Amino acid sequence: SRFETCWPALMKDSHGVIIIFNPELPSHLKEIEMWYSCFVQQQPLLDSQCLLVAHHKPGSAGDTENLSLAYPLNKLKLIHSNLEEDPEDVRMEFIKYFKSIITIINESREREEMSIIS
């Protein structure tokens, strides 16, 4: 990818990774493995800091809803977004995800503070 030189700057101090892909494109299913490897495993971030979003375009075939991803992607939180049908569901999932990231950040900050004190 021509943007690979920018990746270290993008990854620096990041607390979460959201990977959005089109589940109808087989090439995307291969690519998300690479994104997961580079942006989550090599950082390293916890799997709980990564959110997969299978985005369904308007009028797309709905049979990708029961998408089964291979290991290690099947360990990640996966949500389906279809903004025509249920934008509210997607919004709620994003809020849950952001809350979980904030919790992780706060916990690691508290651990750091405790290690400085002790």
The per-residue pLDDT for range 4-57, each reduced to its tens digit, is: 788 888 888 889 999 999 998 888 888 999 999 999 998 889 999 999 999 988
Give the pLDDT confidence score for residue 102 in this predicted structure.
Answer: 96
CA–CA distance, 84 with 81 (Å, rounded to integer): 9
CA–CA distance, 6 with 97 (Å, rounded to integer): 25
CA dihedral over 75, 71, 23, 65, signed as positive or negative: negative
Beta-carbon contacts of 60 under 8 Å, excluding residues fewer than 6 positions away, are 24
Give the pLDDT confidence score for residue 62 in this predicted structure.
Answer: 57
100 — pLDDT class (breaks 50, 70, 90) = very high
Domain boundaries, the chain: 11-117
